[in-house]
Structure 1
């Protein structure tokens, strides 16, 4: 999405030739394959653990931390692999996103009128706020030293990540709609 946004703003006239359906399919396949391989590695490492304690997962979602909490064997390799997979995935996607924002900002400041800059800034700031909320909750949820420390906090963060973050994203994008802005303005003016 960040790369698509970068191409649309940096190369608006060449966008359709640069972002072909083949490139879109390759990017979707690459990200899906990367996600599948990283999850497969973690599933393989988790399947090699010994589980001898209670057989009740203390959570409402399937997350690796809660499986690790039930293990009675050495979890260090699995926790290290989980940490490395999460950090690698986050750094790769954050770097692409930041790269696109740097180029969008530099292109905007060099080539656009004040009206064009305002329009691009409005679109980019909305996208940037949603991306910041998403990456922030993802980092808090997955980039941590040990799964054993705070399972209740993980439940809270999982709820925030799976329910509140998409809700906030929808709310933030909805605020860009002129009719919604006007309805909110009328609601606040009547009070």
Structure 2
């Protein structure tokens, strides 16, 4: 009997033990397989939440100063992530709890400014600036006045009304003072720059 002999190269087409860097065209890539599903999920209409889920997702009411401080931290996190619609809702809750606190008013104004509600943003930011000045925080008051000026421009204010907002900003920006210890490094930096 004669044995068939094959060349060694035909028995092992890939003598290199390392795997090939070329993708196998017949292999299923999980990302490619899931892409149509993920696309359909993002384009699908959102399902209505069940009442129990909606109640669980509703934030608890603000009842005391500790709850207000926690809600302000949540609002600041929403501001950092630029979740403007959620920030507006959170800030409205805070303003409803304490209408004299200028910080939630400013957050509400900034959320409305980002969402394009310029008239309401201008009102909120102007009220925030007045309240910040009343407690002696001129830095946030100046920032609120500047944002109110931008909101007035977005609202299509007359040049006279916009100039009045800009004058308010200029008055606040000239006499910077604060009672917030966190702003002291900023004040020192401003004083150093002015001295140079």
Structure 2 length normalisation: TM-score? 0.27
Rg larger in 1 or in 2? 2
Higher relative contact order (Cα pairs below 8 Å, separated by 6+ residues): 1
Higher helix share: 1
